[in-house]
C-alpha cells in the first residue's frame, strides 16, 4: 500500500512538472518570436478590417444612420429575392412575425418559426448579422448606412420601431425587443429540460 501511494505521488509530480514547463515556455516567449519562422504581426489596419463584431449593448457599432424608407429600397434590390416581399414568403428565413410564439412555446411547438420579431433578444444583433452575413452571396458588401437602413426597415416591418425611426449607434442599442425578457441566465441544476 505504501509503495502504491508513493508511486502515485510521483506520477502527479511528473504531470505537474510537465504542466509547469509548458506554461513557462509559453509565457517566456516574447511577442516577436516566430517559432516556425513564418508569418508576421498583423497591422492595425488589417485587424480593423475584420474587427466588425457588434455586441448586444451596441459596442462596436460604426458611425452612420438609416431609416426604414431607405431600407425598403435596399431590401427590394438586395434581399427580397430570397426573403420575400415584406420579409415573408421567400425561400430563405422569414424575417417578420411577432404574433406566433407569443407564449414562447418554441421548445414544445415545432411548427413555430423563430424570427427577428418574435425571438431575437437584441436589435443590435440584426445589425451585426446583416453586416457580417448578408446578402447571402455577397457578405461584407453593405455600407454602415445601408445596414442601419435595412435594420430600421426590418424592425419597422416587425412593428418594433416606428416607420420614421432613424437607426444609428445611439438609437439602435435603445430598441427593446419583444423577446428581450424571455432570455434568462441558465441557472438550472438538473430537473426539467424546458424551464
Ligand atoms: C441568396 C439568398 C439571400 C439573400 C439575397 C439574402 N439572404 Fe438573408 N438569409 C439567407 C439564408 C439562406 C439565411 C439563413 C442563413 C443561415 O441560417 O446560415 C438568411 C438569414 C438571414 C437573417 C437571419 C434570420 C434568422 O431569423 O435567423 C437575416 C436577418 C437576413 N438573412 C437578412 C438579410 C438581408 C437584410 C438581406 C439583404 C441585404 C438578405 N438577408 C439577403 C439568404 C439570403
Q: How confident is the model at residue 20 (pLDDT cuts 50, 70, 90)?
A: very low
| Ligand 1 atom closest to Cα of residue 75 | 37
Each residue's pLDDT tens digit, 172-187: 999 999 999 998 888 8
The answer, yes or no, to whether residue 54 has pLDDT greater than 80, is: yes
- The residue contributing the CA closest to ligand 1 atom 11 is 92
Highest average pLDDT, of 14-28, 98-112, 131-145, 173-187, comes from 131-145
- Grid-cell match 505504501, residue found: 2
Cα(33) to ligand 1 centroid in Å equals 42
Q: What value does the mean pLDDT take over residues 148-162?
A: 98
Gap between the terminal Cα atoms of the chain: 49
Q: How confident is the model at residue 61 (pLDDT cuts 50, 70, 90)?
A: very high
Distance CA 74, CA 145 (A): 11
Q: What value does the mean pLDDT take over residues 156-177?
A: 98
Amino acid at each position: 500500500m505504501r509503495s502504491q501511494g508513493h508511486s502515485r505521488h510521483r506520477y502527479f509530480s511528473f504531470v505537474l512538472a510537465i504542466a509547469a514547463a509548458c506554461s513557462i515556455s509559453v509565457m517566456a516567449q516574447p511577442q516577436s518570436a516566430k517559432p516556425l519562422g513564418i508569418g508576421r504581426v498583423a497591422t492595425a489596419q488589417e485587424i480593423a478590417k475584420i474587427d466588425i463584431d457588434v455586441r448586444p449593448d451596441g459596442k462596436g457599432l460604426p458611425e452612420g444612420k438609416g431609416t426604414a424608407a431607405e431600407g425598403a429600397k435596399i431590401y427590394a434590390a438586395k434581399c427580397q429575392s430570397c426573403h420575400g416581399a415584406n420579409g415573408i414568403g421567400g425561400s430563405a428565413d422569414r424575417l417578420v412575425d411577432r404574433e406566433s410564439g407569443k407564449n414562447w412555446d418554441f421548445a414544445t411547438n415545432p411548427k413555430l418559426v423563430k424570427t427577428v420579431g418574435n425571438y431575437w433578444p437584441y436589435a443590435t444583433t440584426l445589425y451585426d448579422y446583416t453586416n457580417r452575413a448578408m446578402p447571402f452571396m455577397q457578405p461584407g458588401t453593405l455600407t454602415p448606412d445601408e445596414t442601419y437602413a435595412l435594420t430600421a426597415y426590418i424592425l419597422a416591418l416587425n412593428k418594433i420601431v416606428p416607420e420614421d425611426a432613424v437607426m444609428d449607434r445611439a438609437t439602435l442599442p435603445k430598441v427593446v425587443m419583444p423577446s428581450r425578457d424571455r432570455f434568462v441566465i441558465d441557472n438550472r441544476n438538473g430537473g426539467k429540460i424546458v424551464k
